[in-house]
Structure 1
Amino acid sequence: MKEYLIIDGYNIINAWSELKNIAENDLEASRDKLVQMMLEYAALSGEEVIIVFDAYRVKKRSRTKQKYPKVTVVYTKENQTADSYIEKVIGELDKRAVIRVATNDWAEQQIVLGKGCSRLSARELHIDVQNSRKKMKGSSQKKASKITLADVVDDDVFLKLEQMRRNGNF
């Protein structure tokens, strides 16, 4: 079953202090940071992530999309809010899919729940992202400390190398 995480981009940026601090000086850098964090998160969670940034007040803007592995970044068209785009996408996705929407917007959360999806607050998403990073760091350290030659080469090559080592030819 396909799983989706749809994120109201500016809502999350304004809710997470590390992104909000970046946005005060450079909004584009904060967007890039959120996208980078979600690329890592999507790789670990397996979910398809859609990050929506609205261009509600941007003149003559047409919708644009950037595709990455497991992550799609959408900039809405002029006069379209992220909320309206999210509602539209929810209606278009496979009804059998698991869909979570991350936003702190209470009204949007109610609409999401009414459409059979689950809502995720900015805080809950932040905790998920932090936990996935800890999990990734822990598993990479374990893997690095336990890798042996037998893990890297096939059995025949390993046996030949081991025989050479024992015979002093190595």
Structure 2
Amino acid sequence: MPPHYPPVMLVDGYNVIGVWQRLQAMRDAIGFESARSELIETMINFSAYHGYKTTLVFDAYNLETPGKTEKLTKHLKLYYTEHKQTADTYIEKVCGQFYRDPMRHLKRIIVVTSDRAQQLTAVGFGAEWMSALALQQEVEITFKSVKHRQKAQAQDTKKLLGNRIDLETKARLAKLRESLD
């Protein structure tokens, strides 16, 4: 049996923030840091649910700093590009490595951006492409599914005997349990 490789998702963070209306509003009202934090939290949950190995890529083009990776969870890491490197060039580099990987036929890489040139480049390297809006829809569908499942589990607990008997009977049962100890 061939080895299992979890899907890899590369997300152009600032591109997504610029497309999702709720993140745009947050960015404009409070600043980039709050929008970035909200996107990170969203992607932690989404990636864990789907089992993706996600890298959120943020440009640090104008900062004179080396590239930096922060592993936040088993499923999500952040990459801040190095000086004079864009998220696009980093994503292209990773896609190029994927293209040269002799095991790529067993792997899946998804690039999330609404940048048309980046889309064409990623697909040219054999990666899948997802627009920022398509990711937003996938996130919303996933969260609705999770809520629906949680609601169903909560309803199942209402069916337990302990949740259906009156307080007087519960008190009598508690007394009986105490006398058995």
2-structure distance, mates of 1:63, 1:145? 48
Q: In the alignment, does 2:55 pair up with 1:50? A: yes
Q: In the alignment, does 2:122 pair up with 1:112? A: yes
| 1:62 alignment partner in structure 2 | 66
Could you give the per-residue CA deviations for residues 71-96 of structure 1, whole angstroms, max 9, x where no partner exists? 01110000001011011122334622
| 1:21 alignment partner in structure 2 | 25
- Give SS of 1:5's match: strand
- Give SS of 1:116's match: coil
TM-score by length of 2: 0.79
Tell me the matched-pair count.
Answer: 153
Match of 2:96 among 74, 91, 104: 91
| 1:76 alignment partner in structure 2 | 81
Match of 1:11 among 10, 15, 27: 15
Percent identity between the aligned chains? Answer: 31
TM-score by length of 1: 0.83
Could you give the per-residue CA deviations for residues 132-159 of structure 1, whole angstroms, max 9, x where no partner exists? 000110111111221477xxxxxxxxxx
2-structure distance, mates of 1:11, 1:52? 10
Consecutive unaligned residues in structure 1, runs of 5 or more: 150-164
Deviation of residue 9 (structure 1)?
A: 0.5
Consecutive unaligned residues in structure 2, runs of 5 or more: 161-172
| 1:121 alignment partner in structure 2 | 131
- Give SS of 1:124's match: helix
Deviating above 2 A after TM superposition, structure 1's stretches of 4 or more consecutive aligned residues are: 90-94
Deviation of residue 8 (structure 1)?
A: 0.4
| 1:34 alignment partner in structure 2 | 39
2-structure distance, mates of 1:116, 1:77? 25
- Give SS of 2:66's match: coil
Could you give the per-residue CA deviations for residues 104-123 of structure 1, whole angstroms, max 9, x where no partner exists? 00000001111111100111
2-structure distance, mates of 1:141, 1:43? 20
Question: Which structure would you say has the larger Rg?
Answer: 2
- Give SS of 1:11's match: helix
